[in-house]
């Protein structure tokens, strides 16, 4: 697309360092944006898909040849991921996927609680008629997605609804921060987490929230947002505990403990 080489098919084998990496989804999907962004997307997908795992060392060279691009955009994308805390570099040795601990998840949701509960309050107060319509529309879209059983679409609608409420609350800084936090927790596989319970339960959790905002009831909106986040947080903390081989019978107890410690006061 840009310069002559490319599509030359990489050298048949490659790295001994971290084992062959399952060839990554060949980028493809994200065409259009810069290669660095495509690399970030591809790595994220590879992580959530379990194709790259914590504890193993990978290198820029390795990824570059696996994706048929040069080291520059790979390096650039990886550095951004590193800054976001998703990978960690070991000088002259490679980089490693950072494991998201249950405590991290709890802390992230504590922060989201601190930001989004007031945002819900403000949204209930500040939303104009047009914005209320958009909120209602987004909410209906989520129920629609849930009705067809489409997990991923439901999760996307969930995200969009949260973003919309933050926007209506009128704090673009908070919108950006929450966006960033979400990309971190996304690694746990929200989809996987919601699989256990029917998707329309996820959709229904928003009913009280949306109705409170539409009714302009600030306190009810704040409370609904708090409960929704707490419930999501506990699901994901449990997920993270399971990913750490926590014995199933202790998960419930530990989840309550971890989330309680992190959330108290927010």
Binding site for DNA (CB under 7 A): 2-6, 15-17, 34-36, 58-62, 69-73, 75-76, 79, 89, 91-95
Per CB under 8 A, the list member of 24, 62, 67, 121 interacting with a copy of itself is: 121
Spatial distance between the Cα atoms of 101 and 18, rounded to a whole number of angstroms: 23
Largest CA distance in the chain: 62
Q: Does 110 bind a copy of itself (CB under 8 A)?
A: yes
98: DSSP letter: P
Q: Which is nearer to a copy of itself, 101 or 246 (CB)?
A: 101
**3 strand-pairing partners:** none
Spatial distance between the Cα atoms of 132 and 118, rounded to a whole number of angstroms: 17
Residue 118 binding: pick among a copy of itself, DNA, none (C-beta 5-8 Å cut-off by kind)? a copy of itself
**Could you tell me which stretch among 10-18, 100-108, 192-200, 249-257 binds a copy of itself (CB under 8 A)?**
100-108
Instruction: Write down the least CB distance from residue 13 to DNA, Å.
Output: 11
Print the binding letters for residues 147-176 with a copy of itself: x by CB under 8 A, - otherwise: ----------------------xxxxxx-x
254: DSSP letter: H
99: DSSP letter: P
* Inter-residue contact 261 to 253 (CB < 8 Å): no
Q: Does 182 bind a copy of itself (CB under 8 A)?
A: no
Q: Which is nearer to a copy of itself, 83 or 249 (CB)?
A: 83
Q: Does 266 bind a copy of itself (CB under 8 A)?
A: yes
Q: Does 44 bind a copy of itself (CB under 8 A)?
A: no
Nearest 10 degrees: Cα torsion 62, 64, 65, 71:
-100
Spatial distance between the Cα atoms of 78 and 98, rounded to a whole number of angstroms: 13
Spatial distance between the Cα atoms of 139 and 219, rounded to a whole number of angstroms: 20
Contacts of 257 by beta carbon, 8 Å cutoff, 6+ apart: none
Q: Does 254 bind a copy of itself (CB under 8 A)?
A: no
Residues that bind a copy of itself (CB under 8 A): 76, 79-80, 83, 85, 104, 107-108, 110-111, 114-115, 118, 121-122, 125, 169-174, 176-177, 181, 218, 261-262, 264-266
């Amino acid at each position: 697309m840009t310069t002559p080489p490319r599509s030359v098919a990489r050298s048949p084998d490659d790295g001994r360092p971290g084992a062959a990496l399952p060839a990554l989804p060949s980028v493809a999907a994200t065409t259009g944006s810069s290669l660095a962004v495509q690399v970030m997307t591809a790595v994220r997908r590879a992580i959530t898909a379990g194709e790259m795992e914590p504890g193993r060392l990978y290198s820029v060279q390795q990824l570059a040849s696996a994706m048929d691009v040069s080291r520059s955009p790979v390096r650039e994308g990886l550095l951004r991921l590193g800054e976001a805390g998703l990978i960690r570099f070991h000088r002259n040795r490679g980089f490693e996927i950072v494991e998201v601990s249950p405590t991290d998840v709890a802390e992230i949701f504590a922060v989201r609680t601190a930001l989004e509960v007031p945002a819900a309050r403000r949204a209930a107060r500040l939303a104009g008629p047009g914005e209320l319509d958009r909120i209602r529309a987004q909410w209906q879209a989520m129920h629609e997605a849930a009705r067809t059983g489409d997990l991923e679409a439901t999760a996307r609608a969930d995200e969009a609804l949260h973003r919309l409420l933050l926007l209506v609350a009128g704090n673009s800084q908070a919108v950006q921060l929450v966006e960033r936090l979400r990309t971190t927790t996304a690694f746990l596989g929200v989809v996987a987490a919601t699989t256990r319970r029917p998707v329309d339960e996820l959709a229904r959790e928003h009913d009280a929230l949306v109705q409170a905002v539409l009714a302009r009831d600030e306190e009810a909106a704040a409370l609904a947002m708090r409960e929704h986040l707490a419930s999501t947080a506990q699901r994901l903390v449990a997920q993270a505990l399971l990913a750490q081989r926590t014995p199933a019978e202790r998960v419930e107890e530990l989840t309550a403990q971890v989330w309680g410690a992190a959330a108290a006061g927010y």
